Amino acid sequence: MKPSKDPQPRSANNSIVDVAVLARVSVATVSRVLSGQRDKNDDVDRRVRQAAATLNYSVNAAAKALRSKVSGVLGVVAPKPIDFPASQLISELEPAAKKAGKNLALALAETQQELDDKVRSLILRDIDGLIVIAPQNCRLPSTKDATNSPGTPIIQLLGHNASPQVSWIGIDTTAAMRAAMQHLADANATSIAFLSPTLDSGMVSDALVAFQSSDQITELIRNPAWTTCGACTIRRGYDDALRMFADKDETPDGIICGNDQIALGVLQALNQLHIVVPDQVMVVSFGDSPLALMSEPSLTSVCPPYRTMAHEAIRLLLLESEGTRRLYPHTTFPPQIIDRGSTRKLMHV
Amino acid sequence: MKPSKDPQPRSANNSIVDVAVLARVSVATVSRVLSGQRDKNDDVDRRVRQAAATLNYSVNAAAKALRSKVSGVLGVVAPKPIDFPASQLISELEPAAKKAGKNLALALAETQQELDDKVRSLILRDIDGLIVIAPQNCRLPSTKDATNSPGTPIIQLLGHNASPQVSWIGIDTTAAMRAAMQHLADANATSIAFLSPTLDSGMVSDALVAFQSSDQITELIRNPAWTTCGACTIRRGYDDALRMFADKDETPDGIICGNDQIALGVLQALNQLHIVVPDQVMVVSFGDSPLALMSEPSLTSVCPPYRTMAHEAIRLLLLESEGTRRLYPHTTFPPQIIDRGSTRKLMHV
DNA sequence: TTGTAGGCGTTATCAA
DNA sequence: TTGATAACGCCTACAA
């Protein structure tokens, strides 16, 4: 049923003036009602909303941005091609941004040069904030250029090159390592091995330190030869595991892997040696990639707190774009252990 | 009157008027030079560009969009969470869009409801075109609503529910299947098995038809029991392969897998049976996911033509947004075989 | 080819 | 609280 008037529900050719006329108020009032500045629930409010609905009206984003200096857009720079962590972060960023009334403008960068370009380009587009998921081997900003005009708040996600001039949200790798060890200890592991990534490869780099210095559970590290560094590949995990279990006299009963690929290799080696996971040896990995669900048994993995990081990034950006204060906090969040088949649940006795 | 002394390189507070004053021309001329309407390489051109550079000026996107009705933004709707094909497509779409001077606005959707919302929301934001990478089990549009006002060209990528009212770009699965078989035939395979996804699961659904009806090489399909349907999991591939090779009398020497996970399971089974890949049996899979590089040997895989699809999508969108004609072409592109360790290269004799 | 001037649709200002 | 009006920064007829 339509109202008695002549609604003209044509495509979005309607402007705020049409709504004002139909609602018999001024354009200013329409603007206030529709932007939430006018909170009353009276007749004016109803008339305006009714008119807007009838005309199928929605505000023109460009005009709004031009006038109010708020574009309603958050920029996101991610690695090209988009890797798994970036896709997870973006998947969490988008709903969080939407909930704050922001859209996402996505740019990708592969090199430092591209990163600089994209950052500049986005900032010039009047975005309300910028989130950078830095590609490997890239710094932000490369030079503290005119890029970072005081206008746009910037926040870096992941990476470990965060300059003191840039807000940063990352993973608490120390807590991650501790959680992994505690998880194994709780399941009665007595001797733990650690297959670390090479030290320069980021995410778990200082996890090695945490591993070797974790106070309460140091006694779990029996053999220095069980701490290895190397590539994040299936083959590396396979080779290291074979080597570790060559000497039947002394073998670990818990293995922490720098990522899921390494863990997959470990699993293959153990399977070949007829060592049963998790009964004889337990395995924990970092990253919780899709791989973790594919293996047999599935991998207990330390999952980066993507959702928490995304929400915090949005929150910070909103905060900084409103207030005048501009701090550059460096925040880390502890990841969560996803318990799966490769570790044994502790039985309550 | 100090041309080079006091350039005011402050943040982007400068407008086209400042540039015009500094270059001693009118704002119209500045607009024309900077938007490429004025092609001459004369003194005026140089003065304008010099002034713009000096003032660190760049056009205000909002004002430009408001006035010219062209926002310079393409909308992209992708599944939430972003899956591998979507991340590949986006990784190709972004540079292609950038090259055309467009930015990407990214929205994610998980349900039909969300898809409709995001499509509507993006179209209302005055985007120049919309690319939809449809989530599973979603249709576009759900109802031919006011969403598809004649204003914004829309194109769907992947999925197989493309309505005749929507432009669509997909994969030529028939060609894909043919290429896989031809690849095996060229490497002297004589009997081929096909581990198909369940028929409703999209991508390779009609590949089964192509498999069974491929004219020239039908003789390669020896045994109907070698064509199976099932889940796209490692275990399924493992189980099917074990079953297939239980009877030593008659076994295939080429296996085509519906995706990389199935292929991984096949590889594991063959390895366990001490059947050497590719010497005794060759394996080809669909999808070319990161998994393909992780296996031992690495997987020869049929790679969807992400780049081609992305470029064609951008091209079509640009075309439709300029011309008045609005066709709804349905296009498919053949994928490319990435030759890796799981198939044997044909030796030239 | 160049300049002038009028809007694009909205929000902010200010007076009522 | 509401309404009239002036920007916001740019593009584009139209005139010179």
pLDDT band at A147 (very low <50, low <70, confident <90, very high): very low
User: Mutate which of B64, B73, B91 to test chain A, going by most A C-beta atoms within 10 A?
Assistant: B91
The pTM assigned to this predicted structure is 0.91
More confident residue, A248 or A311: A311
Q: B150 at the A interface (CB within 8 A)?
A: yes
Question: Would you tell me how many other CB atoms lie within 10 Å of the CB of residue B317?
Answer: 25
Please indicate whether, in this complex, the C-beta atoms of B94 and A87 are within 8 angstroms of each other: no
Q: Which of A3, A13, A126, A88 shows the shortest CA–CA distance to A54?
A: A3
Question: Can you tell me the distance from the alpha carbon of B102 to that of B314, in angstroms, rounded to the nearest whole number?
Answer: 9
More confident residue, B16 or B199: B16
Segment B71-85 mean pLDDT: 96
Residue type, A276: V
Give residue B347's pLDDT: 60
B296 contacts on A by Cβ (under 8 Å): 234-235
Instruction: Kindly state the tokens that stand for A263.
Output: 């863990």
The distance of A305 to chain B (nearest Cα, Å) reads 15
Q: At A116, is the secondary structure helix, strand, or coil?
A: helix
What phi and psi values does residue A256 have, to the nearest 5 degrees? -105, 125
Residue B321 has pLDDT above 60, yes or no: yes
CB pairs under 8 A between A and B: 115
The answer to whether the Cα torsion of A77, A81, A83, A87 is positive or negative is: positive
Q: B120 at the A interface (CB within 8 A)?
A: no
Residues of A111-135 as b/e, b for ≥16 C-beta within 10 angstroms? ebebbbbbbbbbbbbbbbbbbbbbb
Measured CA A177 to C1' C10 distance, in angstroms: 53
Give residue A345's pLDDT: 73
pLDDT band at A301 (very low <50, low <70, confident <90, very high): very high
Q: At B262, is the secondary structure helix, strand, or coil?
A: helix
Residue A100 has pLDDT above 70, yes or no: yes
Q: A81 at the B interface (CB within 8 A)?
A: yes
Measured CA B304 to C1' C16 distance, in angstroms: 67
Q: What is the DSSP letter of B162?
A: -
The distance of A290 to chain B (nearest Cα, Å) reads 10
Instruction: Determine whether the distance from the CB of B35 to the nearest atom of strand D is below 7 Å.
Output: yes
Give residue B217's pLDDT: 59
Give residue B12's pLDDT: 54
pLDDT band at B227 (very low <50, low <70, confident <90, very high): confident
Segment B29-56 mean pLDDT: 92
Percent of chain A scoring above 70 in pLDDT: 85
Give residue A256's pLDDT: 95
Instruction: Kindly state the tokens that stand for B36.
Output: 């490429």
Show which of residues 9-68 on chain B sit within 8 Å of chain A, judged by CB atoms. Answer: 9, 11-12, 56, 58, 60-63, 65-66
Q: What is the DSSP letter of B258?
A: S
B89 contacts on A by Cβ (under 8 Å): none
Segment of A331-340, B150-159, B244-253 carrying the highest mean pLDDT? A331-340
Instruction: Kindly state the tokens that stand for A225.
Output: 């030869």
Residue B4 has pLDDT above 70, yes or no: no
Percent of chain B scoring above 70 in pLDDT: 85
Residue A349 has pLDDT above 60, yes or no: no
Segment B14-38 mean pLDDT: 93
Q: Which of A82, A114, A246 shows the shortest CA–CA distance to B82?
A: A82
Q: Which of B162, B126, B171 shows the shortest CA–CA distance to B141?
A: B162
Question: Can you tell me the distance from the alpha carbon of A127 to that of A120, in angstroms, rounded to the nearest whole number?
Answer: 11
Please indicate whether, in this complex, the C-beta atoms of B146 and A9 are within 8 angstroms of each other: yes
pLDDT tens-digit map of B237-290? 999 999 999 887 889 999 999 999 999 999 999 998 999 989 999 999 999 999
Give residue A55's pLDDT: 92
CB neighbour list of residue A291: distance below 8 Å, 6 or more residues apart: A260, A261, A263, A264, A299, B291
Closest chain B residue to A14 measured between Cα atoms?
B124
Measured CA A102 to C1' C10 distance, in angstroms: 18
Residue B322 has pLDDT above 90, yes or no: no
B107 contacts on A by Cβ (under 8 Å): 94, 98, 103-104
Mean pLDDT of chain B: 86
- Residue pointed to by tokens 């092609």: B39
pLDDT tens-digit map of A37-79? 998 889 999 999 999 999 999 999 999 999 999 999 999 999 9
Instruction: Determine whether the distance from the CB of A38 to the nearest atom of strand D is below 7 Å.
Output: yes
- Find out whether A330 and A168 touch, Cβ atoms under 8 Å: yes
Give residue A222's pLDDT: 67
% helix, strand, coil for chain B, step of 5: 40, 15, 45
Closest chain A residue to B71 measured between Cα atoms?
A62
Q: B235 at the A interface (CB within 8 A)?
A: yes
For A196-243, what is the HEC assignment?
Answer: EECCCCCCCCCHHHHHHHCCCCHHHCCCHHHEEEECCCHHHHHHHHHH
Give residue B126's pLDDT: 87
- Find out whether A283 and A257 touch, Cβ atoms under 8 Å: yes
pLDDT tens-digit map of A171-212? 998 889 889 999 999 999 989 999 988 866 544 456 666 666
Question: Can you tell me the distance from the alpha carbon of B257 to that of B123, in angstroms, rounded to the nearest whole number?
Answer: 39
Q: B91 at the A interface (CB within 8 A)?
A: yes
Question: Can you tell me the distance from the alpha carbon of B216 to that of B84, in angstroms, rounded to the nearest whole number?
Answer: 34
More confident residue, A320 or A104: A104
Give residue B173's pLDDT: 86
The distance of A104 to chain B (nearest Cα, Å) reads 5
Q: A216 at the B interface (CB within 8 A)?
A: no
State CA B343 to chain mean position distance. Answer: 26
Give residue B313's pLDDT: 97
pLDDT band at A99 (very low <50, low <70, confident <90, very high): very high
- Find out whether B104 and B73 touch, Cβ atoms under 8 Å: yes
pLDDT band at A264 (very low <50, low <70, confident <90, very high): very high
Give residue A81's pLDDT: 96
Give residue B270's pLDDT: 95
Give residue B178's pLDDT: 87
B60 contacts on A by Cβ (under 8 Å): 66, 126
- H/E run at residue A131: strand A129-133
- Find out whether A314 and A152 touch, Cβ atoms under 8 Å: no
Tally the residues of chain A: 349
What phi and psi values does residue A228 have, to the nearest 5 degrees? -125, 155
Q: Which protein residue's Cα is closest to nucleotide D3 at C1'?
A: A26
Segment B297-318 mean pLDDT: 96
For B104-151, what is the HEC assignment?
Answer: EEEEEECCHHHHHHHHHHHHHCCCCEEEEECCCCCCCCCCCCHHHCCC
Residue A145 has pLDDT above 80, yes or no: no
Residue B6 has pLDDT above 60, yes or no: no
Strand C contact set, beta carbon < 7 A: A 13, 15-17, 27-28, 31, 34-35, 37, 57, 59-60, 63-64, 66-68; B 25-29, 32, 38, 40, 42, 44, 63, 66-67
Give residue A210's pLDDT: 64
- Find out whether B38 and B45 touch, Cβ atoms under 8 Å: yes
Please indicate whether, in this complex, the C-beta atoms of A82 and B81 are within 8 angstroms of each other: no
